[in-house]
Amino acid sequence: MLPSGCLLIQTIGASSLEALRRAYRGADRRADVVELRIDLARDRDHVARFDRLIAEPGPPKLVTVRSRQQGGEARPGEREALLRRALAGADYVDLESGGPDLALLTGPGRARRIVSWHDPAGTPVGLGEIAGRIRAEAGGALVKIVTQADAAGDNLRVRDLLRGAAPGTTIAFCMGPRGMPSRVLAPS
């Protein structure tokens, strides 16, 4: 049993929106939320397929349209329209810190906003300061920090960040094989 306020998120990606919809239908029903990596679908600009995916019944959806700067596949010009559509129908939408996505923090849409920051190069010192900066720009949105783990100590720095955050306000973990402990132990 996960601690109160801790969600298990299953991330899925596919090369087309239809394949992503099929993968969503096959997602593990024990997942609290299913993250849809829209940026990985080559036909992500096909409005009818996108809307059909968002309307698909099932577990809550977290829509991510990750930019190339943050490690994804989406081009800058296409992200805003996709994020606006997702805000209207998804349960959660991932917005990137420090850029044009922040204009979407307010305005129409039922989705809960998540403001994320990724460092694919490593886990910098001063994660608390980074989290504070993101929290200031995010308003009431969830804050998400994801870094690349180069050493076991990176997992401990992410753990310390989570322990210092108010419950239900922060998502943080490490990427890569050395970051697996941060994902497994995050609930603790």
pLDDT at residue 2 in the model: 42
99 with 168, same domain? no
The answer to whether residues 91 and 37 belong to one domain is yes
Are 98 and 31 within one domain?
Answer: yes
Asked if residue 147 and residue 105 are part of one domain, the reply reads no
50-98: pLDDT as tens digits = 999 999 999 999 999 999 988 899 987 889 999 999 999 999 999 999 9
Q: Are residues 148 and 77 in the same domain?
A: no
Half-sphere exposure of 6 (CA within 13 A, CB side): 13
- CATH number of domain containing 109: 3.20.20.70
- For residue 1, what pLDDT band results from cuts at 50, 70 and 90? very low
Same domain for 110 and 127, yes or no, is no
Catalytic residue among 37, 135, 144, 157: 144
Query: Into how many domains does the chain fold?
Result: 2
How far is it, in rounded angstroms, from Cα 93 to Cα 113?
5
Residue 46 a catalytic site member: no
How high is the pLDDT of residue 11? 95
Helices (H), the chain: 17-25, 47-55, 76-89, 127-138, 152-164, 180-185
Please state the rounded mean pLDDT for residues 157-186: 90
End-to-end CA, the chain = 11
Q: Can you give the residue range of the structural domain that contains 176?
A: 120-188
Q: Is the pLDDT of residue 46 over 60?
A: yes
Residues 61 and 131 in one domain: no
74 within 8 A of 39, measured Cβ to Cβ: yes
Question: Does residue 93 contact residue 83 with C-beta atoms inside 8 Å?
Answer: yes
Catalytic residue status for 61: no
Model confidence over 10-38: pLDDT tens digits? 999 999 999 999 999 999 999 999 999 99
Q: Order of strands, edge to edge, in the sheet holding 170-175? A: 9-13, 33-37, 61-64, 92-96, 112-119, 142-148, 170-175
Residues 139-156: tens digit of each pLDDT: 999 999 999 999 999 999
The catalytic residue among 21, 44, 66, 118 is 118
